[in-house]
Each structure stands twice: as C-alpha cells, then as structure tokens.
Structure 1
Amino acid sequence: MATSRVRLLAALAAAGSLAAAAVAQNAQAPESLLPPGFGEPVAPPPAQAPSNQTVQPLPQAPLDLPAPEASPSPTPTPTPPSAAELAKYEMPLFARRSLSIVGPIGQPEGGVAPNAFGDADGGYLQGLMRRLSAPLPSRWLSIALRRALMSRIDTPAGLNGADFAAERAWLLLRMGESVAARSVIESVDTMNATPKYEQVAMQAMLANGDPGGLCTLAEAPQDRARGWVLARAMCASLGNEEGAGRALIDAARRQRVASGIDLALARKVVGAGLGSRQAVTIEWDPVVQLTTWRFGLATATGVAVPTELYETVGPQVTGWRALAPAIPIADRAAAAETAAAMGVLSSAALVDLYAALDAGEDTPAALGAIASDLRSAYVGADIATRLGALRQLWDGVETPQARYARYILTARAAARIRPVDGREEANRIVASMLSAGLDRTAQRWRGQVDEGSDAWAMLELSDPDARTRLGYGAVGKYAGSGNATLKRQLFFAGLAGLGRLSPQEVESGAESLDVPIGVQNSWTRALDRAVRDRQPATVLLLSGIGMQADSWRAIPPAALYRIVAALRAVGLDGEARMIAVEALTRV
C-alpha cells in the first residue's frame, strides 16, 4: 500500500472510527422493473402519482407489469410442508426463518426493538411507507430510519412477512440505500416469496448491480413477468450451464421479450458465463432514459453509464452509485460525497474512499488534490498546514449540500484541532465534528467559543449531558450567521423539543418568534399517538412524513419541534440532538 494511504489511515485509526451509516423511483408502489421497449403492451400502465423524483418512462410501450396486491397475512410460522413439498427444498426445517419476525439486524447491531411498531396496523404502516417521499433532507433522520427499517422486527397485523420486508426494502431503495434494501430482502427465505417480494427483490438486486442475486428466484415454475424470462437466461449462463444462457436469450429475442439496449445488456451478462463465445458492444447513443434494469446490468458488466443519463433519474440513484463496488472509485467520488450528505455513507467510509484515491496511480488531478488536502488536514506538519487544508476543502465547493458533505469528510480531522488553535474557525470546526456525531469530542470547545455564535448554539443543542434548562434569553443571544431569523426559530424549536426550556418560556418564545408549535393536525395527532403508544419505529416513519421537503430551508420550525420532542420521548435522544444541530448547520 502506498505510503500516503498508510499515513492517512493511521491518522484515522488514532482518531477512532464512526459506525458505518448507511431509490428506486418515488412512487406509490413498486413499479415495473424492466424499462420501456420490452415488447408490446397488453394494457396501459397504472397511473402513478406525480413526483419530481420519479424516473420518467421512454415514449415507448412499457411492460404490463403492474404492482401486485399485498398477499394475505399468514400464520406467524409457515405451515409445515408435506413430504412431497419438502423434496423441493434443500433448506432443512430447523434452518428456515419465520415470517413473524423479519430483518437482518438486531438491537446489538444498532437496530430497534422487535416491538418498535407496537400494535400499529400493518395497512397503516404500509401506507406511511408508500407515501414517504425520499431521500429525506435530513442525514440523521435518514440514518435512524434506515436502522429501523433494517431491524429484526415483528410483522404487523394484517401484513404478510415477505410483503412487509418488500415494503421496507422499497422505501430503502428510494432513500438510496441499495445495500440495506438487499439485506432486508435476503432476510426472507425464497420459499416464502410473494409477487410483491419478487418484484422488489429484482429492484434491489439491480440497484446493487448484482444479477446473480436473482438466481434464487429465477427458476420458480409459475408464469413469470418478462424480466424473469431474461433473468433465467442470465442465471443459466452464470451457473455454468454451457450454452443454455445463449439459447434462452435467443428464444427471448425471437419472442420479442426485449429489444435494443435492454436485450444487449442481458446478452452482455450471458456473455460472462461459461461457453458463451460472444462479445457484446453496448451503444448508448439511442438511449435517452436510464432505468433500474440498465443501471444494474451495465454496472454488473463494467459498462460505464454516460454521465448525462444520470441526470434523467432521481437522487436515490446517487446512493446506488456510491455503494456500487463495480464502478471505478474515481467515478464514485462525487456521488459518494452527496451520498454522505444523504446519510447513505459514513464519515469513515468517505475518508476511506479518498485514501484509496490518494494511493492510486491514475487518480484524476482534481480528485488527487482533494485527497492530498485531506491527508494534510489529518497529518500536516503544523497547525497552520492542517487548518489551511481544512479551509481549502470547505471553501472548494459551492452548494450547501456539498459543504455539508465536506464537513462529514473532515469530521475527524477537525476533531484533532485544539480550541486554542482554531478559534477563528470554531463555527465550521464544531459543525464538522457534529456532522459525524462526535458530540462529546465537540464539547471540548464549550466555553471556548463566542456566546451567541453558531458554534455556541450547536454545542448547546448537542450536549449529551445537559441537565439544566436555559432561559429564553439564551435564544435572544443567538445571532445566527446567514439566515438569522430562521436560525433563531430553529434554535428555539430544538431547545424546546429537547426540554431545555420551561413550559412558560416555550409558550412565550413560540409567540414572540412566530413558531406555532401548538397547531394540531392529522400529522401531529398521529405523532402524539405513536409517542403515547411507545412506538419508536412508527415515530421515525411519521418524522419522515413531516420532512417532505427538498431542503432544510423548507421545513417549518414547528415541525422540527414536534419531531425532536417525539424522538426524545421514545428514547431516541441522540438522534433528536443531532437532527436539531443539523438544522442549524444546513440552513
């Protein structure tokens, strides 16, 4: 390994590591996996709710693959199969997983309790998941929601366990969490697959660039949608059935199952198998729309997707790109920074990416410069060099999201700066540390920053050991750089939600700052009910519903108050504090 990468990773090890933080189209229900151009339609596609994140179809005939209805709710444990049915399965009875509790992670791995949805109705939860527009503007709410969706959790009443897993995976895909979505899908035994599960499973595997992941479902005997016809051909080739994949692809072409680049990409996968004896050239010139099928198969076969096609899809695909190991690391760097701001990548993962670029021999000059600055920020010869490198990284981007991503990238380098050395950059140093959740490290700056500054306000909100209430005068002291009025409102909302103000001061502050925290509507009533019933996972879903906005500037301070207070009430104190701080950092 190159010396530069060793030095950078050694610095990271000394600083500690952050737990890894961490879509598909934003529609009401899973859509057809395959792109337009797969034969002629039998019926027009189902109408979808309008959304600026939905991948728009090509002006060609789409597949007639409507979203399936939910399967009937099964008994908590599948009925024991007959001897004849047992012969079809290789998995012994003791190894089969129940549908009554589904998910890849438990509480020790960062998940929520199995009963985190309480006795909430399955249809109600399914409706919340389908209506939630993703990605969310909050990195920290996205991280918390991802952990809840991945948790080993009880299947709610009224839902089939496989369908419940599919709904969770579908939301994770829309959040950009392709790896998490696949993990949820793989926590269900394929013998329990339902139509909805199969449809989302194909989405998840394609989002990961993993057509081989389809093979456990591709050989099911029942009639299949056209995507599975091609999957069967690809899996025959990947399974080293010499010549079988090519024969199935030829049959699919004659039956007009697929055409154009969609068929060519499937042939490309088949060409990777044993005895295919064919080379396929992919031509992107006629293509004007990227789809999950095209992204997944191109990624799997090492075919670069033109940059302009990424502009035809929603932001969730940015998360897929950042997590796809088959895409060259230099091509993933920009997507990785955006994905970190979304909550898909952790600070440590982002630093690892640039450390690898720093060690590479053919790294583009612009990326090499960023990697070099990052190395200097960690292990510069003196404090002036390290601070200069931090400023260069922070000032080298223009958009608010890009700046927040750079805070995440430099979090542990910022943590190595002493308050006595970095007072001039206190606001950005504290913001950087807290973007990665380094709350206790950031508290070293307490008493070392100017009262009323952004750093002071963020330290007040993030203090994990705060036990005393502040007076309303503290809110008045906050100057708030930039949009001062909105920041003061958000600071008040955060303090009130965290219980740092007395009820009387909350009431007077809400009136003087025009933050209507007492307004009641269907969302606030649902949130209050989930808090009263002690349902942290439901609270997270409803918090996401309350953040249906393109940016933090569009989120009302009263909504922030409700979200922070609800999270704190169900035991998610750390998440509540980080979301309150994030509000000040990103407006």
Structure 2
Amino acid sequence: MKTSPSKRTRAATLAAVLLAGVAVPAQGQQDRPESLLPPGFDEPVPTPAPAPSPSSAPAAPSAPRAPEIVQPLPAEPAASGESPIANVAAAEVEAADIDWSRYELPDFARHSLARIGATAAGNEAFPANAFGEASGKYLQTLMRRLDAPVASRWASILLRRALMSPIDTPAGVNGADFAAERAWVLLRMGEAVAARSVVEDVDTDNYTASLYEIAMQAAMANGDPAALCPVVDKGAAAIPQRGWALARAMCAGLAGKPTEAGQLLRQARWGTSQGDIDSLLAEKVLGTGAQGRRAVTIEWAGVPQLTAWRWGLATATRVEVPAWLYRSAGPNVRYWQALAPNIDAAQRAPAAELAATAGVFSNAGLVDLYSEIEQGGDGAEEIAGVARNLRVAYTATSANARVKALRALWDEAETPRTRYARLILTARAAAWVPADAKLGEADRLVASMLSAGLDGAAMEWRSVVTPGGEGWALLTLADPVGVGAVSAGDVEGFANTASRRKGQMLLAGLAGLGRMRPGDAQSAAAELDVAIGGSNAWTRAIDEAGQRGDTGMVVLLAAVGMQSPNWDWVTPEALFHIVASLRAAGMVNYARMIAVEAVTRA
C-alpha cells in the first residue's frame, strides 16, 4: 500500500509556494527581522525635557506596539533604497579637530556596490555571477522566506560559501540592501562571523536603513557592541529607535566620555523602569569604557525572552546567560554561543556540537575546543570525560583502545543531533584507525569519517564493511569514482535490512549522482514509493539552475528544499533533485556528501 503523500511532499510544496510568491510563510519562519528589544522598546525615543534643545529633532509619533517576540532577531528593516543620510555633506571642521567619523576614503580604497562579499580561509569563493540572471526581487523573496537553519550540514556549508562570496549585485536591488539580505540569512543560520564580514564589506557611506538594522544584529550576534560605534550616529539618525539611542550612550562610554554617556543614557531610558534588563545591560557596557565607574548587577529572574540584544550585551560584558533562557531563543543563538571566543570553552562545548551538525562548527574546531578543555582541566565531569575519551581516541597505542574510546563517545549521545555531532567530533580520530574487520564498528567509523568529508580514508574500508549494510551504502554514495551501476535489487535489499526511509534516501542519492541505470532507478522508485519523476515549480527551477551552471542559485534553491529543523521533513524527491542539480552545476563532491548525510541521519 502506498503511503500518504502529504508528509512526503511538504518540503516540495512549500518550495513551490515560495517560488510562486504567495504571501504565506512557512511554519515558524519570518519574512523580516524582528526587534532586538521587547515590544514597545523600539518606539521612537521620547524627549525627556519639556522643551527640546535647538539641536534635537522633533519626536516622531509612537509606533504601534510590536507582537510578542518569538525569535531573538532585529527590527524590521526600513524600506529599501538609499539611506536619507547617505548624501549629507560633511560639515566643515577645523584642521586641529578632525572628526574621523567623516573621514572619506580615497577612490581607490572604496568598495563598489556592484560586487559585495568577503573571502575567508576555508571558504572558497563562488563565481561573481553565481546567481545568473536572477532578479534582485526574486532572490530577496527566496532569502526572506527561507526558514533557516536548514536540515543539512553540507547544504549549510555550501549556503554560507555562496552568501559570503563576492557576488555581483543583481538587477533591481541596491547593493547595500542585497548585502543586508545575505547577512540576515547568515545570522538566522547562526553564521555570526560570516554575516559580519558581509556587512563590513560595504562602506559606511553607502549604508541603507536595512543595512543599519542588520549591522546592529551582526554586532549583537558577535557579542561586539563596539562594532556599532563607526555608524552609530548615522544609524540613530536614520532609525529613531531606543536601541540606537542606547547604542550612542554605549559608544560614548566606550570612548571614555562618561559625562556624555550618562546624559545619552538618561535620555534613552526615559519612560522605562529602573530594573529594565535591556537598559541595565547597555549601562553595563557603557561602564566598561575608560573612566567608567558604573557597577551594574544583572538579574535574569523574570526575564521571559532571550533576545539578540540581551545575548550580545551579556556576552560582551561576560555576564553568563542562564541555560534555561536559551530555550526561549532560536537554535541560531546557540550557534552564536559556540562561536563566541569570550565564553569559556566548557560552556561552549554543548553548543559547539549542535553548531557542528548545522555546518557552523568544523571537526577541527570541535577537537581544538575539547583539547582546550582537557588541558585546562575545566568543565563538568561529563564534558571533561568527553575530552579525555577524545584524547585516548587520538593517542592510544593500540587500535582496540582507540576504537573503545570512540565507541564510548558515540554511545553517550542520547539524541539524533548529538549522535551526528559525535560522528563529526571523532572524524579524524576514526580516519587513523586501520581498516580491520576484527575491530568492529565499521559502519560508524565510515559514517564518522564521511561526516567531515574524509572520503579517501573512508574508502579504505570498502572491503571490510558488510555488503548491503549501512557502511556499504555510505561508501557507495561517497565513492568519488563510482565504478559500476547499483542495481534496484541492491537498493531494495538495503531498505529491507536498514529501514525503508534509509532505502529511499539511498535511492534518491544514487539516482541523483547517476549511479543507477534509468530502468533500475524507476523500478526501485516504484517499489519504495519515491516519485523522482514528479515536477513542480521548485523542481523545475533547481533543475534549470543546475543545467545553466548557476551555482549560487542551485545552492539557494537546495536550501529552500531543505528548510526543516531536521531531516524528518526532507523528502527523498527533494534530495534527488538537489543532488542531481549540484552534480550538473559541477559541485559533485558536495552532492556526494549531502547524499551520504541523508542516509546517515535518516
């Protein structure tokens, strides 16, 4: 009997809705950023005195009260277009009193809005025309409605590379606004550092209201409020909200101007209670500057929501955020935590494992983190035990002892996410284990190596794994040569011994990689109820992008087809088109790893 198509087609149907431009967002997603601060906090700052000074702007009408925050995200960007302050002429200043905030770059040092992005180690850039001829509006729609993070670690790594790369600005959108859209997706993915790099590639003179909003969000995500100081005055002028008024006070305090900082803080706090957590955190930042003398105590009791503002300022001032409060935030905040260098390694470790499953943290990063914990002797016994077992897995003299330590690390994991995280953590240690059937654990050793892309070491186990078992399936997908076609019987046999779901993912991966004859693929698809021949707006869009070689578009559409918190809602049909399109666009290595991940995590 055929299974109900409702669950199988959810991701593909959702993708088609997105591409059609229907104004119905996916469950749990958000078109635009929400406020950094609680409801009502981003209303225009009222003038505290009865009569404003001559230099004060008239108070703007109060904005309607915002809905309850469900994600720690920034305020909705203003309408796209040039910032109202972008072309304001610089005021004349005396030569002895230079205002460095108005210093103009020479022409050769300016960044063009025609191409924006950043390159970084381990982030090989996509071609500048990676999105082909797609219009700015089309790309904006896909990015705004993408419910990040996405299910696949490898798809997330690809998406980070594409969004971070120096990319040509498409027609119909301002370059700064396009940078804001890309950085906004990166922040929702948990990629705080990558998002900041994209924002910083735009000259401050070219900022738009949207980019000011995302610049504040990126500063908070990195726990670095000082990053706002070069743009704080223009940002406050463009966006008359309390968050920017508090930022001006913080920057004055960080600049060693306590009197001015105090005045700005009093103005920004007008109308709020003395115990307002957001103002107190800003005051604590303000007091860290030169000549700062403010002692501020932060109490989290009664705080219902962890916003980006609260997380960023607490992290900047080394105020520990209680573990229970993270449950009120999206998973991206845990990934920000994993990347924060001023949080103790032992506190970051659980978040870093989760971040690794989302492609935000690497195997090498995890190993370095646990090495720091082991050398420092810090952390709870559970965390310290992981560090000790990892050291044994790398340094034990016998292969049996290394496998025993690896087995302990894998068996301790209690959830699908943490089990996959431990495979990533142990990937290089697994690669050092000699291929020997007597050692056992061949399937998990292979899965561990492939979780970090170590296909060369994994292929040494080809003659050791059980034919038709999970290790065989993973190596068949990972094989960079792919000698010989896989039969329908082999796929169906694997589905019977492993699980139907894993068999469906194996079929989709092999068919997408071209590792099955068309007749065998159709036969196995009919037996396993996988409609790989189905067509909708999303499948046509990603297939055509793959044929054109528009690598960035393929990756973005792949993320659209995988916008789920886990693999449960990723259909084998979607996996087939993603793998086939990546292969067609020349990204076969990533196609292989995504197919491997699908079977491993199914």
Quick check: TM above 0.5? yes
From 150, 157, 168, the equivalent of 1:143 is 157
From 305, 329, 350, the equivalent of 1:313 is 329
Q: For 2:441, what is the secondary structure of its paired residue?
A: helix
What's the CA shift for 1:419? 1.2
From 293, 309, 326, the equivalent of 1:293 is 309
Q: For 2:342, what is the secondary structure of its paired residue?
A: coil
The more displaced of 468-477 and 253-262 is 253-262
Q: For 1:250, what is the secondary structure of its paired residue?
A: helix
From 265, 283, 287, the equivalent of 1:267 is 283
- Cα pair 2:338 2:352 within 8 Å, conserved: yes
CA shift in 2, pair 1:299/1:79, >3 Å: closer
Give the AA of the match of 1:478: F
- Cα pair 2:219 2:228 within 8 Å, conserved: yes
Q: In 1, distance between residues paired with 2:90 and 2:227?
A: 28
Give the AA of the match of 2:293: R
CA shift in 2, pair 1:317/1:402, >3 Å: same
CA shift in 2, pair 1:82/1:244, >3 Å: closer
Q: Is 2:488 aligned against 1:472? A: yes
Q: In 1, distance between residues paired with 2:180 and 2:447?
A: 36
From 457, 463, 483, the equivalent of 1:441 is 457
Q: In 2, distance between residues paired with 1:549 and 1:40?
A: 33
From 491, 494, 498, the equivalent of 2:513 is 498
> Gaps (5+ residues) in structure 1?
1-24, 58-62
Q: Is 2:471 aligned against 1:461? A: no
Q: In 2, distance between residues paired with 1:214 and 1:137?
A: 32
What's the CA shift for 1:26? 4.4
Runs of 4+ in 1 over 4 A off after TM superposition: 45-48, 78-87, 106-109, 255-259, 479-482
- Cα pair 1:105 1:111 within 8 Å, conserved: yes
Q: For 2:324, what is the secondary structure of its paired residue?
A: helix
Q: Equivalent residue for 1:514?
A: 529
Q: Equivalent residue for 1:544?
A: 559
The more displaced of 382-391 and 341-350 is 382-391
Q: In 2, distance between residues paired with 1:132 and 1:169?
A: 13
CA shift in 2, pair 1:72/1:123, >3 Å: farther
Q: Equivalent residue for 1:21?
A: none
Give the AA of the match of 2:159: L
Q: Equivalent residue for 1:574?
A: 589
- Cα pair 1:106 1:152 within 8 Å, conserved: no
Q: In 1, distance between residues paired with 2:587 and 2:37?
A: 39
What's the CA shift for 1:472? 2.6
Q: Equivalent residue for 2:205?
A: 191
CA shift in 2, pair 1:276/1:309, >3 Å: same
- Cα pair 1:38 1:258 within 8 Å, conserved: no
Q: Equivalent residue for 1:303?
A: 319
- Cα pair 1:243 1:275 within 8 Å, conserved: no
- Cα pair 2:220 2:309 within 8 Å, conserved: yes
- Cα pair 1:37 1:259 within 8 Å, conserved: no
Q: Is 2:373 aligned against 1:343? A: no
TM-score for the superposition, normalised by structure 1: 0.88
CA shift in 2, pair 1:145/1:380, >3 Å: same
Q: Is 2:70 aligned against 1:67? A: no
Q: Equivalent residue for 2:175?
A: 161
What's the CA shift for 1:550? 3.1
Q: Is 2:219 aligned against 1:219? A: no
The more displaced of 295-304 and 354-363 is 354-363
Give the AA of the match of 1:248: L
What's the CA shift for 1:560? 0.7
Q: Is 2:32 aligned against 1:29? A: yes
Q: For 1:127, what is the secondary structure of its paired residue?
A: helix
Q: Is 2:248 aligned against 1:232? A: yes
What's the CA shift for 1:449? 1.4
Q: In 2, distance between residues paired with 1:469 and 1:323?
A: 43
Q: Equivalent residue for 1:557?
A: 572
CA shift in 2, pair 1:33/1:371, >3 Å: same
CA shift in 2, pair 1:120/1:429, >3 Å: same
Q: For 1:144, what is the secondary structure of its paired residue?
A: helix
- Cα pair 2:78 2:209 within 8 Å, conserved: yes
Q: Equivalent residue for 2:186?
A: 172
Q: In 1, distance between residues paired with 2:555 and 2:158?
A: 7
What's the CA shift for 1:421? 5.6
Quote the RMSD (CA, aligned, Å).
Answer: 2.7
Q: In 1, distance between residues paired with 2:390 and 2:586?
A: 36
Q: In 2, distance between residues paired with 1:393 and 1:440?
A: 23
From 431, 437, 448, the equivalent of 1:432 is 448
What's the CA shift for 1:481? 5.6
Q: In 1, distance between residues paired with 2:151 and 2:366?
A: 19
TM-score for the superposition, normalised by structure 2: 0.86
Q: In 1, distance between residues paired with 2:459 and 2:381?
A: 37
Q: In 2, distance between residues paired with 1:302 and 1:340?
A: 24
CA shift in 2, pair 1:26/1:178, >3 Å: farther
CA shift in 2, pair 1:481/1:354, >3 Å: farther
Give the AA of the match of 1:180: A
Q: In 2, distance between residues paired with 1:306 and 1:147?
A: 32
Q: For 1:478, what is the secondary structure of its paired residue?
A: helix
CA shift in 2, pair 1:563/1:98, >3 Å: same
- Cα pair 1:37 1:258 within 8 Å, conserved: no
CA shift in 2, pair 1:480/1:131, >3 Å: farther
Any residues of structure 2 matched to 1:200-215 within 5 Å, and which? 200-215=214-229
Give the AA of the match of 1:149: L
What's the CA shift for 1:553? 2.6
Q: In 2, distance between residues paired with 1:193 and 1:443?
A: 50
Q: Is 2:111 aligned against 1:97? A: yes
**Residues 290-346 of structure 1: CA distance to partner in whole angstroms, max 9, x if unpaired?**
111100000000001111110101111111110011211111111011111111000
Q: Equivalent residue for 2:22?
A: none
Q: For 1:254, what is the secondary structure of its paired residue?
A: coil
Q: Equivalent residue for 1:44?
A: 64
Q: For 2:492, what is the secondary structure of its paired residue?
A: helix
- Cα pair 2:72 2:306 within 8 Å, conserved: no
Q: In 1, distance between residues paired with 2:268 and 2:160?
A: 38
Q: In 1, distance between residues paired with 2:387 and 2:307?
A: 32
CA shift in 2, pair 1:92/1:40, >3 Å: closer
Q: Equivalent residue for 1:119?
A: 133
